Amino acid sequence: MSGRPQVPVRSSAAFVTSVGKAVQATAFPTQDYLIDDTRFVSEGNWAFCRFTGDEIPAMRLGFQRGGFNSSSSEQRRNPEHLQLHLEAMTREGAVLWLPTGSYPAKAIKSNPDVMDIALIHDARELLSMHGWPSMTCRIRSGDGSLEADLRFAFKVVMVLPDCLLPCCTFAMWESFGDVEGTVRFGTRSRDVEGKVFFDHTRVLLHENAVVARQMYLYTTMYFEDGSALFGYYSQDVENIPIRDYCFAVYLDAIGHAHFMDHGLLEKLVVDCDGIAKQWRITWGSDYLSVTLASVAEGSQILRCWGSPEAPQRRKDFSIIPLVLRGSAVISTEPARPLVGRGLAEHFDASLWADDRKKQW
């Protein structure tokens, strides 16, 4: 499943699988993908879906149970906090159900033995994730106006390097696979299909003698030849790349995963809201490099609801999903240009000075 080794075997504080090792989803250990609220103050599942159609080109959904926030100060949060997102990117604009803070973390119920997660409120199931590596994922807004009924088929999983933050250690793995299903908004229902990048996050409270994080770009892309890429590029408050959190994984068309342990941001252009709209990053290892040029659509907020604090202006929700088109050059012989579609997230701490925004 994996390409040639590029880095020494490393371990994660939160997972038993080695960092940078590609594992078939069917062989991934259960203790690495199940919720374990006895060990972790914060844990969650997030799906970044990029569909083939243009009417609903993308969707981001997921939850984070307990004590982690996005601010550069890394203040500890209430472990009963529940972050919850259901975000459909439509041709007309972003439809965002953001009830973060409206439900307690304990409302998330999970089976300790199998993948079976549910959020039930007032006798209605708002979220369910069931099965592995084939998963059914259903999530609906509290008022029933937005709903996704999706089926994921995961192929490859890789544990990523731990990110050391001042007050905690943030760990995650990433999986890649196919997605199909139905998305409904109001009376309009559409069948969708495409690719999904799915990650599982865990947080351990731990003091680390590091400089706070200032910015990151999380980029997912799948290409016309069937290959795919996901990558992080991060900088600290001194604008220095965070050594262990500038990396990418390239999954070639035959299913081999190649971990690249360093990255270089060559160009970043932001829009009038301070959100990334164009960038180019080169990730590399001893034997492979990938240069990706990404352009994000300037999606405006069509509707956002779920709590009294739900942001109504794009500039108040700087981590809005970024629908991408991109091109990449893979440094194989001969070098091959590829065209692809993707979904990204951009975080800049300078856009999150207001405490109210940190909860998102």
pLDDT, tens only, 235-290 = 998 899 998 899 999 999 998 999 999 999 998 999 999 999 999 999 999 989 99
Q: How confident is the model at residue 2 (pLDDT cuts 50, 70, 90)?
A: very low
Q: What are the structural domain ranges in the chain? A: 22-359
Name residue 35's beta-bridge partners: none
Instruction: Give the per-residue pLDDT at 8.
Output: 52
Read off the pLDDT of each residue in 53-60 and give the average, rounded to a whole number.
Answer: 96
Higher pLDDT: 3 or 60? It is 60
pLDDT, tens only, 229-244 = 999 999 998 899 998 8
Burial of 21 from C-beta contacts in 10 A (0-12 / 13-18 / 19+): middle
d(CA 223, CA 325): 10
Instruction: Give the per-residue pLDDT at 282.
Output: 97
Q: Are strands 94-97 and 301-305 parallel, antiparallel or unpaired?
A: parallel
Read off the pLDDT of each residue in 88-110 and give the average, rounded to a whole number.
Answer: 95
Q: Are strands 289-296 and 276-284 parallel, antiparallel or unpaired?
A: antiparallel
3-class DSSP state for residue 41? coil
d(CA 127, CA 141): 9
For the entire predicted model, the pTM comes to 0.94
Element of type H or E holding 156: strand 146-159
pLDDT, tens only, 170-221 = 999 999 999 999 999 999 999 999 999 999 999 998 888 988 889 999 999 9
Report the percentage of the chain scoring pLDDT > 90: 78
